[in-house]
Amino acid sequence: MPDLLSNLSLGFSVALSLQNVALCFLGCLVGTLIGVLPGVGPIATIAMLLPITFGLDPVGALIMLAGIYYGAQYGGSTTAILVNIPGEATSVVTTLDGHQMARQGRAGIALGTAAIASFFAGTVATVLIAALGAPLTKLALIFGPAEYFALMVMGLAFAVVLAHGSVLKAVAMIFVGVLFAAVGTDLETGQERMTFGFAFLTDGVDFSVLAMGLFGIAEILRNLDQTETRDVVRARIGRLLPGLADLKQATPATLRGTAIGAILGILPGNGAVLGPFAAYTIEKKLAKDPRRFGRGAIEGVAGPESANNAGAQTAFIPLLTLGIPPNAVMALMVGAMTIHGIVPGPGVMTKNPNLFWGMIASMWIGNLMLLIINLPLVGVWVRLLKVPYRLMFPAILMFCSVGIYSINSLPTDVMLIGFFGLMGYILIKFGFEPAPLLLGFVLGKLMEEYLRRSLTLSRGDLMVFLERPISAVLFIVAFAILAAALLPSLRKGRDEVFTEA
């Protein structure tokens, strides 16, 4: 404990220098402003802003970068709530209830709740990293391919619960999502799968492209169909920040979300991606009236948002202690650190204690900055909703195009958002929801890899999934979730399986 305190005080003495606080603030601010552009998710934001940190000293650069990361993530949630466009996999869940709240004139409350829940989760996760970072890495190494496969299956079971319509349609969408994930060059053999000879499909479909199409463009198309409701939404803008009653309702969800997100974030195999989904599922299962979910339930924002932020934070643990980047954003952070001459890994903590603890302290400062920056900004964002839709959607469309182009510099990516937009529109017209598809897409890719890897390592023995205790438990949980989702509707009149729940 005294160690922890002296380490943290070292960290804060580094992070609280005038220059570093300013850099942290600047990073958070710019990250938020870029990340809020529809079409620009955290990965694109960090890649874009990475070069501006080059001129700084390593500690300052990393502090600014961490600020950019939180800012981008929070900016992404803002876009998810305001215009229903998720910038990354984890904010898909935020669109479900967050955007519904915005449609009901409660955008400010949703944004405020997201900011406060994120801040709380960030604080807890920072303490967790500082206190338990090193011992927790052991947990990371217990998880082998079999456990990850089980984890992904569990994630797909969550996806069924996520949908608020017909269970059958949700399952179909998950299958379609996993099928889409298979497009592209096969990792193990290098063979092209379902690319039809198109060069731009050899690397498969990019998540942002799919998300921007299915959510961004399809949402525009859907809104164009319903002129009346859209303008009613604009007219009603309620209170700007959550009141005490709202916060009281959100608190238990925040606590649970933080715990779930923090634990999953430690897993180096991209466990953090599951955090928001798991939190949402749990909130929906615990709620007295699950029907509120998908229709603007505040727990549906607080839970996933806190899980998201906690996971985003604890994802630094495998990076800083094992040197393994658990996801694409962290891989970018490794690159950034390496450019500054620091290779993250077990040595960082002892070789560069200034940097290590300074960065941890700055995580908390960054979270605080976000709160300071974003609560006043809520008013600005909400006012954006007042802009007439006839001007709003061309602007969204252009930002999506510029954002997608800037990621890979490929015009074909821009064309694909048009294609997926059309597809998303047709899906909506037939009562399918895009969220399970996107989840299937994200988890499907990982799931197939882990499945094939587990079986390669077990030499084709399927029992490996049941012999290993953690994997067996995860499978049982997955089947329990599925049964819980399917049975009631099967019992209560079979119609619900096929039509709206």
Partner 1 sequence: MDAPLDGTSARRGPVRAPQSLVAGLGLIGLGLFGVWASSDLDYGSLRAIGPGLMPFWLSVGVGICGLALAVAGFTHDGHPLQSVSLRGPLVITLAVLAFAVTIRPFALGGVSTPGLGLIVAGPLAIVIAGYAGTEARFLELLTLALFLTAGCMLLFGDMLNLPIPIFPTAVVQAMTGVLPARTLLRIAAGVMALVGSGLLLVQRRSSRREPIEVARHSLTT
Partner 2 sequence: MKKALAFGLLAALTAVGARADSYPQRPITMVVPFAAGGPTDIVARIVADPMSKALGQQVVIENVTGAGGTTGITRAAQAAPDGYTIMMGHMGTHGAAPALFKGLKYDPATSFDPIGMAAGTPIVIVAKKAFPAPDLKSFVEAVKAGGASINQAHAGVGSVSHSTGVLFDSQIGAKPTLVVYRGTGPALNDLMAGQVDFMTDQIVNVATQITGGTIKAYAVATPERNPSLPDVPTTKEAGLPGYEVSAWNAVFAPKGLPEDVRKKLIDALDAALKDPTASKRIIELGGTVPKGNEAGPAALQKLVESEVARWTPVLRSAVESNP
- Residues 280-309 binding partner 1 (CB under 8 A) are none
Task: Give the C-alpha separation, 47 to 307, whole Å.
Answer: 24
The CB-side HSE value for 436 (13 A sphere, CA atoms) comes to 28
398 interface partner picked from partner 1, partner 2, none, CB below 5 to 8 A per type:
partner 1
Check binding of 459 to partner 1 (CB under 8 A). yes
389 makes contact, choosing from partner 1, partner 2, none, with CB < 5 to 8 Å by partner type, with: partner 1
Q: Which of 452, 472, 477, 484 is in the footprint of partner 1 by CB under 8 A?
A: 452
**In which element (H, E) is residue 10 found?**
helix 2-15
Say which entry of partner 1, partner 2, none residue 429 contacts (CB below 5 to 8 A, set by partner kind): partner 1
- Burial of 453 from C-beta contacts in 10 A (0-12 / 13-18 / 19+): middle
Q: Verify binding: residue 108, partner 1, rule CB under 8 A.
A: no
The residue range among 3-11, 31-39, 59-67, 305-313 that interacts with partner 1, by the rule CB under 8 A, is 31-39
26 binds partner 1 (CB under 8 A): no
3-class DSSP state of 184 = strand
431 binds, among partner 1, partner 2, none (CB under 5 to 8 A by kind): partner 1
238 binds, among partner 1, partner 2, none (CB under 5 to 8 A by kind): none
Nearer to partner 1, 179 or 339 (CB): 179
Residue 33 binds what, of partner 2, partner 1, none (CB under 5 to 8 Å, by partner type)? partner 1
Q: What token pair was written down for 60?
A: 């300052």
> Distance (Å, rounded) from C-alpha 416 to C-alpha 359?
38
For residue 140, the number of C-alpha atoms closer than 13 Å in the C-beta half-sphere is 28
The residue among 33, 36, 69 whose CA lies nearest residue 50 is 69
Which of the listed partners (partner 1, partner 2, none) does 261 bind, with a CB threshold of 5 to 8 Å by partner kind?
A: none
Nearer Cβ to partner 1 (25/399) = 399
Instruction: Select from 102-110, 366-374, 395-403, 468-476 the region that touches partner 1 (CB under 8 A).
Output: 395-403
Scan residues 210-249 and list those touching partner 1 (CB under 8 A). 217, 220-221, 224-225, 227
56-64, 129-137, 396-404, 482-490 -> range binding partner 1 (CB under 8 A): 396-404
Tokens linked to 238: 């309620």
Least distance CB 270 / partner 1 (angstroms): 19
**Beta bridge pairs of residue 192:** 185
Whether 161 and 449 have beta carbons less than 8 Å apart is answered as no
Q: Supply 248's token pair.
A: 């009281």
In angstroms, how far is CA 367 from the centroid of its own chain?
17
In the complex with partner 2, which residue's Cβ is closer, 314 or 367?
Answer: 314
Query: How is residue 213 annotated by DSSP?
Result: I
Which of 16, 52, 240, 472 touches partner 1 by CB under 8 A?
52
Shortest distance in whole angstroms from residue 122 CB to partner 1: 25
CB of 88 to partner 2, least distance (A): 15
User: Distance between CA 394 and CA 389 in Å, rounded?
Assistant: 9
Which residues would be at the binding site for partner 2 (CB under 8 A)?
47, 50-51, 54, 140-145, 185, 187-190, 199-200, 202-203, 268-269, 318, 322-326, 331-336, 338-339, 341, 343-348, 408-410, 449, 452-453, 456-457, 459
Report the sign of the C-alpha dihedral through residues 466, 469, 473, 478, in that order.
Answer: negative
CA distance 411 to 134: 44
Question: Per DSSP, what are the bridge partners of residue 193?
Answer: 184
